[in-house]
Structure 1
Amino acid sequence: MNPAPLQLHRGKSGPGRLDPATIVEPTPERMAPVRETALPTTAAHPPLFAVLGAHGGAGASTLARWWAPAADTGLAWPGSPRTTQRVIVAARLCMPGLTAAAERLREWHAGYAPDGVTVIGLALTAARPGSVPAMVRRFRSVVAELVEQVYDIGWHDELVCLDLADLAQYSPFAPAPQRRRKSRLTETVPLDVYRAGADIISRIAASHPAAQKDSEDQS
């Protein structure tokens, strides 16, 4: 497998963005579609961010269920400004998954995602139990240069026996799962999912104009 070259010089084209002139964008037939309709509101409040699957089977629906403040945007960029356009790209931690993730990230950096879209992280879900092959780890380190934050989600056997609606959910005010207690996924989210959700919410809160002003006032 020969992934497209990644040119990684930081520019000033927006939060977390690389200089589009340094990016080799995917070919048109490899670009993601755009969702023109607003994201669904399935909880008490509109979603704070969207989970975009870089490929089929990326785990986007599971992650969007686990993170209560999220919405599943499938394989499409969220193009409607009526709901959030903050995006977590989801992919499997394998060579095809990483290649697809790199395409979505390069597409965004090159300016081909809809106006208003901001990629705030990459969630990589284990493709199998056990260790990650060295070749995959090396390619992961390359793809990680295309995004501000990478969230690693492990393999959870119980998922194969549960429907999405059965899964517990992370919310910003939920207590962290206990380290030493093995809970069912119907009772609480895994610790790696909790930590990723908490970090995402923290980053979103820190990017709010009021939080940025408070930080400037204190500096």
Structure 2
Amino acid sequence: MNAWPPVPMWHRAVPNQSGRPPLLWLVGVHGGAGTTSLAASMSWAGDAGRRWPGRIGLVRDMDSPLVVLVARTHMSGVAALEHAVLAHENDATPAGSQLVGVVTVADSARPLPTAVARRREAVEARVLDMGAEPWRLPWIEQWRELEPHRLPVWEPDAVTRPVDEGDATRTPPQPVRQVAEQIFLAARAVGMRLTDQHTVHRNTG
């Protein structure tokens, strides 16, 4: 018997304001994790709040199975992230869910306390062992004065666009751009692998 209770999940399609199906879902492991700001900065990512998408699949009208967990870097945030990772490892997440990676978002401009840093490193090591990726987002001072609707979107092809480092309403800060690009590439690779597996299964089934 599974000792892990099921994670909070959506039992219907995840509400999506963007108008197009997201490539992946950002799931906050606690309140205030930063999923709304991150999703606002990445048009291809959806904000699932604190619940995992449960109505998932690779066919039309189903939600993407790709998930990135998001947490702040205080001890309670890292502990919640660890619990969510363990829940996935112990099959307490919706069947078919694919953990692409985790993002830890700095909760302060100050260095992490040693105990928090060590625990985060342990969680990240477990994530890597599971075949997923850990990403770290530093403190973004500009985000303190911007509501999510004022955050600019970073597209995968944005390398061809001019960069304005001085205006956070026109261009996402450089750390956000880097993490966004890495998440996109990782999610696309997992998505392509799942699609290939689905195609093989359908053709041989």
TM (normalized to structure 2)? 0.82
1:37 match: 12
Change (3 A) 1:211 1:67: same
1:50 aligns with 2:33: no
Q: How many angstroms does 1:161 deviate by?
A: 1.5
The size of the alignment, in residue pairs, is: 187
Report 1 or 2 for greater relative contact order, CA contacts < 8 Å, sequence distance ≥ 6.
2
Detail structure 1 runs of 4+ shifted over 6 Å in the superposition: 176-179, 210-213
Change (3 A) 1:25 1:65: farther
Quote the sequence identity (%): 26
1:84 match: 64
Q: 1 CA distance for matches of 2:161 and 2:176? A: 10
Q: 2 CA distance for matches of 1:134 and 1:202? A: 31
Q: 2 CA distance for matches of 1:62 and 1:49? A: 15
1:73 match: 48
Give secondary structure in 2 for the equivalent of 1:47: coil
Q: 2 CA distance for matches of 1:191 and 1:105? A: 28
1:186 aligns with 2:169: yes
| Contact persistence 2:165–2:171 (CA under 8 A) | no
1:199 aligns with 2:182: yes
Q: How many angstroms does 1:44 deviate by?
A: 5.7
2:59 match: none
Equivalent AA in structure 2 for residue 194 of structure 1: R
TM alignment of 1:123-134, pairs within 5 A: 123-134=103-114
| Contact persistence 2:165–2:174 (CA under 8 A) | no
Q: How many angstroms does 1:154 deviate by?
A: 1.1
The gaps in structure 1 that reach 5 residues or longer are: 1-20, 214-219
The gaps in structure 2 that reach 5 residues or longer are: 57-61, 198-205
- Of 156, 160, 166, the residue aligned with 2:140 is 156
1:95 aligns with 2:70: no
| Contact persistence 1:205–1:211 (CA under 8 A) | no
Q: 2 CA distance for matches of 1:135 and 1:71? A: 32
Q: 2 CA distance for matches of 1:73 and 1:80? A: 12
Q: 1 CA distance for matches of 2:122 and 2:144? A: 30
Equivalent AA in structure 2 for residue 154 of structure 1: P
RMSD of the alignment, in Å?
Answer: 2.6
Q: How many angstroms does 1:211 deviate by?
A: 9.3
Q: How many angstroms does 1:66 deviate by?
A: 1.2
Change (3 A) 1:176 1:66: farther
TM (normalized to structure 1)? 0.77
